[in-house]
Structure 1
Amino acid sequence: MPDSKIKRRGRRRLKSFSYTGTWAHSITLYTHQRQHLFKSRQIVHPVLHILQDTAERFGFRIWAYCFMPDHLHILVQGSAPRSHQPGFMHRFKQMSGYAHKRQHGRKLWQESYYEHILRTEETIAAVARYIFENPVRKGLVETPAEWPFSGFLEGIDPKVI
């Protein structure tokens, strides 16, 4: 189908929600054209460093992350009332995409991302476990601890799940 005929999806964020504060968010970002880019430390580590830096600057904790070949799962939580998730995600995608294109000559991310705001009955540990088990569900490894491109920055260790 020619690009001019592609229907653009509407806004994926909730109109009535501010996305500011200490909410926890499960977020999935896909690589451009679902390319299998996250297969080596040389690709994953620079993106992870930018994620860490951006989270720090925007006041977010990273409870869990998992780089799959064609997408990234992250579980983040605002650490201050001013933590603004869309600003954080925009900056992260911008900086990591720019660095990747400069280094490898190609686009990194698909437009937008999918996010889920955790409800009060959903625990950080349960959502982190789900994220860490993704490579197991896809048949890439037998245990979460075997996957080299997942981890935690705020106290949930995939090796003990």
Structure 2
Amino acid sequence: MNRRNYSPSNSEGSIPSNFSRHSPSKYQGYISYSRQRKGEKAVWQPRFWEHQIRDKSDLVNHVDYIHFNPVKNGLVKAPKDWKRSSFLRYVNRGIYSLDWGTDEDIKFSDNIGRE
């Protein structure tokens, strides 16, 4: 299977929820009274930029961006090193090679990740 033929499973929609529930408190920061009342964690921004995925190519570009973002920001040397990433699940499914994004500077168009 390659990234161009990928279709997401329903379970991947729960990734933010699972991350919030299982992330250590040191990553959650200050939780305001308002957020506490709503049961929200401070991991996520209170606002977001909505982007509707237009087609498979747009999906692939955004998933690539998400997996490469910790490398781009200097947090790890390779996507495989980011522990809370779905990257290794994609590798196990044959969508990425384990060394994807390791020794390359991946460029994204200006509209990816800035919507």
Considering fraction of residues, name the structure with more helix: 2
Taking structure 2 as the reference length, what is the TM-score of the superposition? 0.41
Taking structure 1 as the reference length, what is the TM-score of the superposition? 0.32
Considering fraction of residues, name the structure with more strand: 1
